[in-house]
Amino acid sequence: MNKTIKNIVIAGGGSAGWIAAAALAKQMGSVVKVTLVESEEIGTVGVGEATIPPMRVFHKLLGIDEREFMRATSATFKLGIQFENWGQRNDSYIHSFGMTGKESFIAPFHHFWLYAKEQGIAKEFGKYCFELEAAKVDKFATSDNANVNYAYHLDSSRYATFLRDYSESRGVKRIEGKISQVNKDPTSGHISSLELESGELVEGDFFIDCTGFRGLLIEQSLNTGYEDWSHWLPCDRAIAVQTESVAEPRPITRSIAHDSGWQWRIPLQHRVGNGLVYCSQYLTDEEAKNTLLNNIEGKMLTEPRVIKFRTGQRRKHWNKNCLALGLSSGFVEPLESTSIHLIMMGIVRFLRLFPNGEISDSVIDEYNQQAKDEIEKIRDFIILHYHVTQRQDSPFWQYCKNMDIPASLAHRIKLFSEHAHAFQADGELFRVDSWTQVMLGQGIMPKQFHPSVTAMPVGELQRFLQGIENSISKGLEQLPSHSQFIAKYCAQ
């Protein structure tokens, strides 16, 4: 394909399509023409309502005003995820977005904590994390000077509408219609145009596939292939339902493990998002529906709907002149709210590698390697939650506890359990704090810790920990409740 990219066509709307359109319009609007094709008749999956902190960086890149965005999407704040029944039945821990303790050059904070635990002077690990303690008491505030790490719960359908308005005001052209055929150049095999049911032909130099699980361009047209991860992540279905709010929204996502999967509860300003992710090998759709409906609060606003999926990734995220984003590129279940993040990183990565002229294999290969590395590290972190469990009370949990896992994850678990070493690899989303909170939360207690921490006298260590705890307590006293802050800051 020996020509400069001037016309980009996005196939499909939803969050993926409009995130891509917004980023291209903002960063490349004067260089390329962007057209998005979507049909109002084709629904979107639209259940991903929880996000992670890097979303705020993406919004800054686009110049999006936080209050305006939150009002438009009925958003609330999110400080982390509360995991219930994961390590054992009736246990609970929080994976928060905050930093635990204080940074140290040689040995991270959790080594000091393990030493203090051995000496009998340590409180719960979470006691030394501001965001985690704020989440427990449903408090929140932020400002330009605040150092709180947070994300959002949002209405994904309203978010897509918000970004559509943003994109169209910056020159993106939207075409309503169903795609009936994908046309390819007979010589190069590159996509040349999309034919709509109306007969309209939408031509482009480059195409972005946001058509969801079916992958109309990346798979049905280009036969890219799919790498299946269901042997590591056996859940293959979700049931979603929306309910009326019956309590003040908490600044936390709840993830509640059941016998054959887990349930999410996500509080927005105007309603609550609920769902059950499960494995159809161990639970029928009807049983899953009953499990979910027996564990929700408030009147149902929508009918429960079943969403089928298969965890994994395309063998190439970028193939020829087509880039797959969102569900068309792959799927890792929403246990750690990474779906929207992967879309945003996918389009940012494309913008950074945007070719000036010919699309060469070198730029495609680099994109695909980076995308593969990122999603595989996220995959390992998700598998960790299932595999590191003491639960053996159902066939599903027996399978998860005893299944073979990727060598990359087995190494990390062994390194932590034997030496308390946790790390954030280059380009990895999840930080040391995330790995330690989940591994400790699910019952891995390291056999040893770094010897350097024993150089601190026990009395000094006790004062050090008490100082962190006091600082957090003082900060929490000054915070309003999450609901009070929303009412003042971004209420609809």
The domain spanning residue 20 has which CATH number?
3.50.50.60
The pLDDT of 101-118, averaged and rounded, is 95
Specify the pLDDT at position 427.
Answer: 86
221 lies in the same domain as 349: yes
Q: How confident is the model at residue 201 (pLDDT cuts 50, 70, 90)?
A: very high
- Given a cut of 70, whether residue 47 has pLDDT beyond it is no
**Residue 42: per-residue pLDDT:** 73
Number of domains in the chain: 3
Q: Which of 26, 33, 60, 78 is catalytic?
A: 78
Distance CA 260, CA 192 (A): 45
List the one residue out of 321, 415, 325 whose CA is nearest residue 375.
325
Residue 104 binned pLDDT confidence (cut-offs 50, 70, 90): confident
In the chain, the amino acid numbered 36 is L
CA distance 481 to 162: 27
Same domain, 396 and 471: yes
pTM above 0.85, yes or no: yes
- Same domain for 245 and 214, yes or no, is no
243 and 224 share a domain? no
In a shared domain, residues 110 and 130:
yes
Residue among 156, 174, 205 nearest 358 (CA): 205
- The model's pLDDT over 250-271, given as tens digits with 9 standing for 90+, comes to 999 999 999 999 999 999 999 9
* 78 in active site: yes
Residue 252 has what pLDDT?
97
Res. 281 pLDDT band, cuts 50 70 90: very high
Distance from C-alpha of 147 to C-alpha of 247, rounded to nearest angstrom: 28
Domain-embedded: residue 487: no
Residues 218 and 319 both lie in one domain: yes
pLDDT of 5 above 80: yes
d(CA 264, CA 319): 34
Parent domain of 264? 237-308
Measured distance CA(81)–CA(256) in Å, rounded:
10
Cβ density class 304-338: b for 16+ within 10 Å, e for less: beeeebebbbbbbbbbbbbbbbbbbbbbbbbbbbb
In a domain? residue 260: yes
The CA-atom distances, in angstroms, between 277 and each of 10, 52, 68, 314, 481 are: 29, 19, 32, 22, 30
What is the spatial distance between Cα 470 and Cα 123, in angstroms, rounded to a whole number? Answer: 12
The residue to which tokens 């150092």 are assigned: 147
pLDDT in the model for residue 1 = 46
Assess whether 430 and 331 both reside in one domain: no
pLDDT at 134: 98
Q: What angle do CA 345, 491, 269 make, to 5 degrees?
A: 70
Residue 372 included in any domain? no
Residue 216 is assigned to a structural domain of this protein: yes
* Average pLDDT over the chain, rounded to an integer: 96
Distance of alpha carbon 237 from alpha carbon 410, whole angstroms: 26
Q: How far apart are CA 12 and CA 15, in angstroms?
A: 9
* Cα gap 80→253, rounded to integer Å: 6
Same-domain check for residues 143 and 184:
no
The answer to whether residues 351 and 425 belong to one domain is no
Q: 403 and 420 share a domain? A: yes
User: Which of 43-47, 260-264, 371-375, 409-413 comes out lowest in average pLDDT?
Assistant: 43-47
d(CA 444, CA 157): 39
Span 365-390, average pLDDT: 98
- Is 56 inside any structural domain? no
Q: Residue 387 domain-assigned? A: no
- Asked whether residue 117 is domain-assigned, the answer is yes
Can you tell me the distance from the alpha carbon of 329 to that of 346, in angstroms, rounded to the nearest whole number?
9
106 and 120 belong to one structural domain: yes
Model confidence pLDDT, tens digit, residues 322-341: 999 999 999 999 999 999 99
Q: Residue 215, Cβ neighbours under 10 Å: how many?
A: 24
